[in-house]
Amino acid sequence: MQKYAISISILFVALSLQIKPLSAQTESPLSLDPAKVEWFKEAKFGMFIHWGLYSILEGSYNGRTLPDTTLKNGRSWYAEWIHTRLEIPVKEYQGLAKKFNPVHFDAEAWIKEAKNAGMRYFVITSKHHDGFALWNSKVSDYDIMNTPYKKDILAQLVNACKKHGLKYGFYYSHWQDWEHPCGAWPVWMPPVRSEEQFERYWQEKCLPQVKELLVEFDPDLLWFDTWFEEHHINPKRRDELIALVRQNSSKCLINGRISFSDPGENIDFLEMHDNSYPKEILDKPWQTPATMTHSWGWHAKDYNWKSSSRMIGYLMNNASKGGNYLLNIGPKPDGTFPAPAIQRLREIGAWLYTNGEALYGTKPVKIDVEEGVYLTQKEEKEETYLYITLTEPLKELELKLGNNTIKSCSLLGIGMDIPYSNKGKSVIIKIPERVFSGCSIPVIKIILSRNT
Ligand code: FHN
């Protein structure tokens, strides 16, 4: 009886604490504590994956290969757009679900490859524009459970990320959806949805699926996608989606492409344009999503592979401007990574094995240098370590170091001394030719005493 009385009084106190205006109960703050973005700023390098039904077609359909300029809208390498670019009838495209059977998919193999490459987080297309979900979605039958494969891809990858210590997130196409009868299609392609129609898609598919991703998988970030003409994604819908994320997660970061033209104040990091590399230091956390070829999804005839040195240059450019590099792989339909992608991941990982010190734990440096030279720094007790990544052969480099005194100047990893001389408040570094014959992207490490 006494126990009953205590429970009643606890219930009464709890209820009285809950008496707030209805609006206060449903509202949640739209912004996240900036401390929760620290891991992202420190991570520097992540893996992006574009994988779905389009991967089966490998960039070609019915004798045509992307880009195909004979079709009105065929001019694109993006194989994940093949449905609309090569005008594949909806039924036929959606029928690809019956063929998706990646028997060689091994989540651990992917995540180990990412980790060995020096990547610290992982982002995969949970649903791209075609509307197909790579997880067991209770919201839509257009998902992995309706394929011969029938196993939740995201669940396996999340487990592998947790096991190997990578943060993880999901790309979710919240605007374009070519499967739901009211989802948005490209502007150049009918049907154009009315606001009412789009709202139906928004309520029936987008919001419930995003909630499902948050509740089922507890992601570290969500990667939404828009570019310029994001009809329907107005500030009201943008904030509704942000609120949904905040209500269901106290840690999940949101990228700026939730509304590229008007991301507002409450996103956690900016997303550059595809393969775009800023030349200035940006204060807000940011990243560049980048491809190894032209296409994001697997395209068997896209032979435009970038060299690993070029990609290391992008990585270090971004680090020197305070940003991250999210490098994409388009896995094959059988679930394996293309061999040239693995080769590049391993080459980048090998470079970072020696030179990772110039990337991880560093900050940008506000000293002007020529294009192709990237500066990063970190503070250690009384010293500052300054790293100079050289992506082009150079004989001499002048650096305005102010009042700082150089304690040592050497080649990172190898340890060879690099000659230098003082010139007023500058230092002139003489770079021996053999530095470049040993490694195409050498890093010079300067140890400075902080005198100022
Ligand atoms: O249309 C997409 C494209 O397929 C790809 O997903 C990229 C990744 O940044 N985002 C859009 C274009 O910017």
Domain-ending residue, one of 341, 358, 375: 358
pLDDT at 27 over 80: no
> pLDDT averaged over the chain?
93
Can you tell me whether residue 13 is helix, strand or coil? Answer: helix
pLDDT of 190 reads 81
Nearest to 216 by CA among 120, 144, 283, 112: 144
**In this structure, are 139 and 167 located in the same domain?**
yes
Instruction: Tell me which of 382 and 238 has the higher pLDDT.
Output: 238
CA of 129 to the centre of ligand 1 (A): 9
CB 127 within 8 A of CB 54: no
- Pair 99, 71 in one domain: yes
Q: Lay out the sheet containing 426-430: strands in order across.
A: 396-400, 426-430, 420-423
* Residue that finishes a domain, picked among 332, 358, 384: 358
At 273, the pLDDT band (50, 70, 90 cuts) reads very high
Q: List residues near ligand 1 (CB under 6 A).
A: 78, 80-81, 225, 227, 274, 289, 296
For ligand 1, atom 7, which residue shows the shortest CA distance?
274
Do 413 and 424 form a contact (C-beta atoms < 8 A)?
no
Give me the pLDDT at residue 252, please: 98
Give pLDDT, residue 186. 93
Residue 21 lies in a domain: no
Residue 275 tokens, joined = 């393969």
pLDDT value for 403 = 83
| Co-location of 87 and 195 in the same domain | yes
pLDDT at 12 over 70: no
pLDDT, position 438 = 87
> Does residue 330 contact residue 50 with C-beta atoms inside 8 Å?
yes
For 445, half-sphere exposure in the C-beta direction (CA atoms, 13 angstrom radius) is 20
Say if 3 falls within a structural domain: no
The answer to whether residue 314 is domain-embedded is yes
Does residue 258 lie within any of the structural domains?
yes
CATH of residue 331:
3.20.20.80
Q: Do 259 and 148 share a structural domain? A: yes
Shared domain check, 328 and 408: no
Domain CATH for 444: 2.60.40.1180
SS percent in the chain: helix, strand, coil, step 5: 35, 20, 45
Q: Would you call 135 helix, strand, or coil by DSSP? A: coil
Q: Are residues 248 and 393 in the same domain?
A: no
Task: Give the bridge partners for 430, in sequence order.
Answer: 396
Note whether residue 400 is domain-resident.
yes
- Residue 291's H or E segment, with its range, is none
Is residue 36 one of the residues assigned to a domain? yes
For 271, the domain range is 29-358
pLDDT value for 301: 98
Inside any domain, residue 17:
no
Note whether 292 and 51 are within 8 A (CB). no
Q: Which of 358, 386, 406 is the last residue of a domain?
A: 358
Pocket test for ligand 1, best of 296, 299, 327 (most atoms within 8 A of CB): 296
Q: Give pLDDT, residue 71.
A: 97
> Is the pLDDT score of 16 beyond 90?
no
User: Which residue bears the tokens 């999901």?
Assistant: 170
- Indicate whether 7 belongs to any domain: no
Nearest CA to ligand 1 atom 4: 80
Percent of the chain having pLDDT more than 70?
A: 93
Residue type for 363, please?
K
354/380 same-domain check: no
| Residues 145, 161 within the same domain | yes
Indicate whether 15 pLDDT > 60.
no
Region 397-416 average pLDDT: 94
Same domain, 417 and 393: yes
Please write the tens of the pLDDT for every residue from 241-270: 999 999 999 999 999 999 999 999 999 999
Same structural domain, 385 and 426: yes
DSSP code, position 143: B
**Cis geometry, peptide bond prior to residue 442 (ω within 30 degrees of 0):** no
Within 13 Å and on the Cβ side, how many CA atoms surround 443? 25
Is 106 found in the same domain as 47? yes
Which DSSP string do the residues of 192-207 spell out, in sequence order?
A: PPPHHHHHHHIIIIIH
Angle, in degrees to the nearest 10, between helices 153-164 and 107-116: 40
Do 350 and 390 fall within a single domain?
no
- Give the pLDDT mean for 310-314: 98
Domain total in the chain: 2
